[in-house]
Amino acid sequence: MSSDPMTYTGAAAAPPATGTLDVSVAVPLPPATARGLQLLAEHPGHAPAAVPLAGFWALLLRWSGHEEVQVDTSCGPLRCRTDEETTFRQLIEQAARATRAAGASSASYRAVVPHPLVAAGSAHELLLSCSWGSQGIHCALECAPGTFSAAELSRFAKQLSLLLTNGTIRPDQYVQELGLITAEERRAAVGPFNDTARFFDDSLLLHQLRAVP
């Protein structure tokens, strides 16, 4: 992985899916994941804003292949430094220290989507906004018109949900090993290679089967 830092720009606090940008998709968090994130946020030394920040960091790290990312907020830069052995729990601890040191309490972050997801030199941005309520955490990804389609944004949201879910279940797993591919994407990628079934007439003899193309 490259060690060059990447810079991401933070945004002011906002509730999810408010339509502040043209395209908005809710992050589909299973109830068990939402409860797990709530428990992580309530852990001594953690903060609610640190949990989604760690998840967003993880997504950007996986997309870019970099070992360092930086999120700029109104409270100052929030930087993440990782290596191949950084676990999701350690990433949350980094996020907690960063938000605590900067006095950041919001959970809204704007990120420039890295190459190769977009063409080099493009400045397509994503906004992750999260809020906590009686039902747990609610997150949404938003983008400006003309950047990503609702289908692309939905795929990003599913990937973030997978990272948060796997990180909640296995917080001591390395960030680089957390599952990122959805079941639909896995079937689309692997399915054609596994489609090797062929029909053979069981009435044919061995020498006749060898002649079948």
Look up residue 116 and give its amino acid: P
49 vs 208: which has the higher pLDDT: 49
The pTM (predicted TM-score) of the whole model is: 0.75
Write out pLDDT tens, residues 80-117.
Answer: 999 999 999 999 999 999 888 887 666 788 888 876 67
- Mean predicted lDDT score pLDDT of the chain: 78
Query: Would you state the pLDDT for residue 12?
Result: 33
CA-based nearest residue to 108, from 7, 16, 33: 16
Pairing relation of β-strands 108-112 and 136-143? unpaired
